[in-house]
Structure 1
Amino acid sequence: MVDFSDFDTRGYRTVDVATGYGRWVSTYEETVEDVMDLALLDELTEPPWQKLRRTADLGCGTGRTGAWLRGRGVTGTLDGVDLTPQMLAVAREKGVHDRLVEGDVRATGLESGAYDLVISSLIDEHLPDLTPYYAETWRLAADGAHCVVVAFHPHFIMASGMPTHFTDASGEHIAISTHIHLFSDHVTAALAAGWRLVEMREGIVDARWLARKPKWDKYRGHPVSAALVWRKETGATGGAAMNGCVGARSNT
């Protein structure tokens, strides 16, 4: 297993996920660039967005991904899950989700086999182990469903030594607990759960990025994020143990 501490060049004070995102919430949407995740979603050829009946948005945060889904033509039921109450409060104001649940993406409490799509964006680096996450997405997925994961690219985390971080009101840079997952980690965990990889895209530091972050010129051409699309084939049997429904609370 690759340890982020072996690559950390920033040395920022580190806080847990709920604490970090609870403090970052007021500036989160101003600092997370759409080219990091939404631009990759725009490139995908699967799933068939406009045909989705039920979607689970895991780690839904402030509702950025949910708003993108609605803009892409997703009209079916959209349920969001997030660990941080402050982020959910912002998502609730957007009004794009039908239901919002405060809970862990590894044990959501949502209905088994109910969703045509399970989607997560920029959360995998906060999970020490991907196995419980992929097992839970499999549990939630109906036959023929897709799982879409947008990830902070492991190459960029290692090359830059940069954790997920934010700047608080005092000007201090604060890191949120960050883990490095190689793509082999994703593949191993997802295949063990039963998923089949059907599409993958990688985003690089290009002109769009440099227009926003000129200091990143030294990273020009480096992969910075990636989108993986998995499918649950009809009749497929999952290989990983299913997670229980622990610690989720519904907020509608």
Structure 2
Amino acid sequence: MPQLLGATEIRRLAEEIGIRPTKTLGQNFVIDGNTIRRIVSAAHLDPDETVLEVGPGLGSLTLGLLDAAARVVAVEIDPVLAAKLPQTIAAFRPQLAANLDVVLSDAMRITELPAQPTALVANLPYNVAVPVVLHLLEHFPSLRHGLVMVQDEVADRLAAPPGSKTYGVPSVKAAWYASTRKAGVIGMNVFWPAPKISSGLVSFTRREPPITRASRKQVFAVIDAAFAQRRKTLRAALAGWAEGGAKAEQYLLAANVDPSARGEVIDIAAFSCIAEARLDALA
């Protein structure tokens, strides 16, 4: 079985380049090989895939991904870590070193990569996980599926179905791009430093967005308005967006949505219909 990085190797690599994990960048390095194997297995990667990894850090997950896929494109915001990663791969997987591309960048800003990724597998910083996932799904339609590790509470939100307590903006916007499900929980003691909360795995599979004449931006504007004040009915919550409660009710009825319902009970298709109803009324 190929060697993966454990606590000893991770701390040694960190010491070599004089770094300590920072809260600012949301750095929590995985120090358990079995956890890496679990993540890679749950990602269901084909041997010919190109994997996009965000925040590779010291390379714990990168090694496991290189063992399973044809190529890994690793996006790292920290220049010191980005410079060290190829050296680590060359030391631990010399025969696979040519299969790695390291991109020094903020994942929220990338719109081009050295190769078109087919899968996203990443241990994402807690504080930017949702916007990163949505940004990558928007700008890289080649991403067919993926598995991300995020704060457990965020995992619940991303995978929540309509009507559940955790259903909200992340759930609906993710549903525009993909079907999602929670794929497991990861404990705290497999990280350095150990976070104060558990992590969750979210699996996604790309699907076509709802058929609608409204743009993604127009549909997302409805979603944002609907959840800005969760306890309000859609008629009230969408009044500002629609330029009046009466118009909001008009658009909702045209979309076959109950004006007295709340945003947390309707799905992405219904939000798309509401956006489209406004377009039709203004045409």
Normalised by the length of structure 1, the TM-score is 0.54
Q: How does 1:30-49 map to 2 (within 5 A)?
A: 32-34=30-32, 37-38=35-36, 40-42=38-40, 44=42, 46-47=43-44, 49=45
Distance 2:83 2:149 in 1: 23
Report the structure, 1 or 2, having the larger strand content. 1
Question: Per the alignment, do residues 147 and 62 of structure 1 end up closer, same or farther by CA in structure 2, a change over 3 Å counting?
Answer: same
Following superposition, the deviation at residue 114 of structure 1 comes to: 2.4
Percent of aligned positions that are identical: 9
After superposing the two structures, state which structure 1 stretch, 57-66 or 183-192, moved more.
183-192
Which is bigger in relative contact order (C-alpha 8 A, separation at least 6)?
1
The CA distance in 2 between the partners of 1:184 and 1:53, in whole Å, is 28
- Where does residue 224 of structure 1 map in the other structure? 198
For residues 41 and 132 of structure 1, do their structure 2 counterparts lie closer, same or farther at Cα, with a shift above 3 Å needed? closer
Change (3 A) 1:152 1:102: same
- The alignment partner of 1:61 has SS state of coil
Distance 1:125 1:186, change over 3 A: farther
Partner of 1:24: 20
- Which residue in 2 is equivalent to 1:62? 58
**Separation in structure 2 between the aligned mates of residue 239 and residue 70 of structure 1, nearest angstrom:** 34
* Cα deviation, residue 86, structure 1: 0.9
User: 1:138 Cα deviation (Å)?
Assistant: 3.8
Between Structure 1 and Structure 2, whose CA radius of gyration is higher?
A: 2
Q: Compared with structure 1, are the counterparts of its residues 56 and 22 closer, same or farther at alpha carbon in structure 2 (3 Å cutoff)?
A: farther
Whether the 8 Å contact between 1:36 and 1:225 is mirrored in structure 2 is no
One-letter code of the match for 1:228?
V
Q: Is the 8 A contact 1:53 1:115 kept in 2?
A: yes
Change (3 A) 1:200 1:116: same
* Cα RMSD after superposing both structures: 4.0
**How many residues were matched structurally?**
173
Question: Which consecutive unaligned segments of at least 5 residues does structure 2 have?
Answer: 1-16, 22-26, 91-96, 161-168, 219-283
Which of residues 162, 178, 182 in structure 2 aligns to 1:195? 178
* Unmatched segments (≥5 aa) in structure 1: 1-20, 155-180, 217-221, 242-252
1:201 Cα deviation after fit: 0.9
Kindly state the Cα deviation for residue 110 of structure 1 after the two structures are TM-superposed: 2.4
Partner of 2:134: 134
Distance 1:22 1:192, change over 3 A: farther
Q: Which has the higher helix share?
A: 2
Provide the residue aligned with 1:114 in structure 2: 116
Name the counterpart of 1:184: 157
Pair 1:202–1:116, CA change in 2 (3 A) = same
TM-score with structure 2 length normalisation?
0.49
Q: Report how far residue 88 of structure 1 moved.
A: 0.9
Quote the Cα distance in structure 2 between the aligned partners of 1:78 and 1:107: 19
Q: Secondary structure at the match of 1:196?
A: strand
Cα 1:224/1:98, change in 2 over 3 Å = same
How far apart, in 2, do the equivalents of 1:101 and 1:147 lie?
19
